Amino acid sequence: MEHRLYIGLGSNLGDRKSNIAKALELVDALVGRVERVSSMIETEPWGFASANKFLNAAALVVTELSPRECLLRTQRIERMLGRTRKSTNGQYHDRPIDIDLLMYDDLMVKTKTLTLPHPRIEEREFVRRPLQEIMVQS
């Protein structure tokens, strides 16, 4: 069965545009078919101080994977693209790529490792704007 997964992508280290493009290629290969991608927006870091601005985008992915498998595979893609540290306990860091699962169909999940929909969509304009752009076209 096919599911609609919305993801958020961000990068503030290295060639940010290329990092997002590579992440989308890997998502398409390892998670599911990338159906739609928002435009990229440049934003200030959220939750921490850095001189490096982010590029952010959102994508709609059609997948047959479970939410947990999507999470594991997107975390693998982050590592493949050079991310060495995950943000934990509200401690954020510069990173070549960040992939967040935002929504998976209309599913509501709350586990130790995954909450869907993503709990901070509304307070993060860098997530909300790209997500709205691709959802309007649905």
CATH of the domain at 73: 3.30.70.560
Give the pLDDT band (50/70/90) at residue 122.
confident
Binned at pLDDT 50, 70 and 90, residue 58 comes out as very high
pLDDT-based confidence at residue 50 (cuts at 50, 70, 90): confident
- Higher confidence at residue 17 or residue 112? 17
Give the domain range for residue 106.
3-136
Question: With 80 as the cut, is the pLDDT of residue 127 above it?
Answer: yes
Q: Region of 127 please: left (phi>0), alpha (psi -120 to 50) or beta.
A: alpha
By the 10 Å C-beta count (0-12 exposed, 13-18 middle, 19+ buried), 46 is classed as: middle
More reliable by pLDDT, 49 or 110: 110
In one-letter notation, the amino acid at residue 6 is Y
Give mean pLDDT, residues 74-82: 94
Does residue 48 carry a pLDDT above 80?
no
User: How would residue 26 be classed by pLDDT, with cut points 50, 70 and 90?
Assistant: very high
Checking 102-109 for CB contacts under 8 A at 24+ apart, the result is: 102/6, 102/7, 102/8, 102/58, 102/127, 102/131, 103/4, 103/5, 103/6, 104/3, 104/4, 104/5, 104/6, 104/67, 104/70, 105/3, 105/4, 107/67, 109/67
What is the number of structural domains in the chain?
1
Q: What average pLDDT is seen over the chain?
A: 89
Task: Name the percent of the chain lying above pLDDT 70.
Answer: 91
